[in-house]
């Protein structure tokens, strides 16, 4: 996973990772990886997108992307990327 392969090796000092309550963040494996690497997780309160600035960007991306009729996964990926880079 990205955290194991990319993020954790770059954290040289003990760090605190702030995470929302997305299902994939709550997995035991991810939490164990962070703990075993000597870092900590602080969880944002549930249903608090106002404390997570990236949520505003995702909302804009989804709003742009949803203006299109998507036929397949390749088109979905392209429109999602186009929406992201148009912001």
Domain ranges of the chain: 2-46, 53-86
Instruction: Pull the structure tokens for residue 46.
Output: 């549930």
Number of other residues whose CB lies within 10 A of the CB of residue 83: 19
Instruction: Pull the structure tokens for residue 25.
Output: 């963040």
| 45-60 per-position pLDDT tens digit | 988 888 888 888 888 8
Instruction: Pull the structure tokens for residue 4.
Output: 């194991």
Distance (Å, whole) CA 82 – CA 31 = 32
| Helix, strand, coil percentages in the chain from 3-state DSSP, rounded to 5 | 55, 10, 35
| 18-76 per-position pLDDT tens digit | 998 888 888 999 999 999 999 999 999 988 888 888 888 888 888 877 887 888 888 88
């Amino acid at each position: 996973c990205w955290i194991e392969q990319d993020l954790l090796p770059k954290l040289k000092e003990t760090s605190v990772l702030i995470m929302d309550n997305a299902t994939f963040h709550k997995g035991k494996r991810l939490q164990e990886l962070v703990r075993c690497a000597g870092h900590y997780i602080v969880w944002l309160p549930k249903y608090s997108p106002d404390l997570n600035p990236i949520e505003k960007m995702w909302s804009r991306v989804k709003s742009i992307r949803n203006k299109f009729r998507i036929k397949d996964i390749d088109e979905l990926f392209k429109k999602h990327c186009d929406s992201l880079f148009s912001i």
